Amino acid sequence: MNLSDDKTLIESILGGHHTDFAVLIERYQGLVAHVVARMVPRVSDRDDLCQDIFIKIYRNLGAFQFRSKFSTWIATIAHNTCLNYLEKKRVPLYQDLQVADDDAETQSMEWIPSAEGTPLDRVETRDLRKTLEREIEQIPLPYREILVLFHLEEMSYEEIGEIMNLPAGTVKSYLFRARRFLRDRMLALYHMEAV
């Protein structure tokens, strides 16, 4: 049986071929891992959460109605499972992110282009990635999750909104704020004044 499309795979699993669930794990392990890694700070708990998520997916597979994309449905289960975990651990879920006004940078006009490029151009890529990873871990939860779903999973504002139970406009606004914040932090860390 060709299990390359999700519908056939799901029908096969529901039809009693439970070993085909391994194909589903293989296919969606990356998505689940990305959501868990971005939402759960404690590394030692992440593996157990991934297991719980896949077991929930297996038990609820019959309830999937094909009304949305299967990846959106899986990400929703991953999101809710992590949220429950964080609530139990009393991790603060919704904090704001302070970023400068959108116009502040361009209006001030203090940004003078340099012939040598930006300071970020002069930093080693590996070093930049490490710093960026550390900075991402510092920003509040919804922003982190939106960044991973948008940039890694290439989901639309609407799909992310469905997963996180947020309006698409809010998702878009959070995404811009998070990226602006990260850019400003990176510039500040590498001693360049953007404003």
Partner 1 sequence: MKHLQDQDLQLYLDQQLRDREKIDHLRHCPLCQERLDTYEIVFSGLRQAPQWTPSPQLQDKVMQKIKPDPAGSVYQQLLQVLAGIGMFIGALSFSLPYLHADNYLESIKKIQAPSLKPDFSLLEKFNFLPSLKSMTGDFNFNYSLLIIAAGVLLLAALMDHLIGLARGRTASQR
Summarize as ranges the residues that interact with partner 1 (CB under 8 A).
Answer: 18-19, 21-22, 25-26, 29-30, 32-34, 36-38, 43, 46-47, 50-51, 54-55, 58-59, 102-103, 105-106, 109, 111-114, 117-118, 120-121, 128-129, 132-133, 136, 147-148, 151-152, 175-176, 179-180, 182-183, 186-187, 194
Least separation in angstroms between residue 67's CB and partner 1 is 24
Query: Given the structure tokens 């001693």, which residue do they identify?
Result: 191
Dist. CA 84–CA 78, nearest whole Å: 10
C-beta of 5 vs 47, nearer to partner 1: 47
Question: Nearest CA to 37 among 49, 24, 54, 22?
Answer: 49
Q: What minimum distance in Å lies between the beta carbon of 60 and partner 1?
A: 12
Residue 166: helix, strand or coil by DSSP?
coil
CB of 102 to partner 1, least distance (A): 5
Residue 45 backbone phi and psi in degrees, to 5: -95, -10
Q: Specify the residue, 34 or 79, whose C-beta has the smaller distance to partner 1.
A: 34
Phi/psi at 42 (nearest 5 deg)? -80, 110
Min CB(71)–partner 1 separation in Å: 16
Closer residue to partner 1 (CB): 70 or 172: 172
CB burial of residue 18 (10 Å; 0-12, 13-18, 19+): exposed
Tokens at residue 35, please? 């959501």
Nearer to partner 1, 7 or 151 (CB): 151
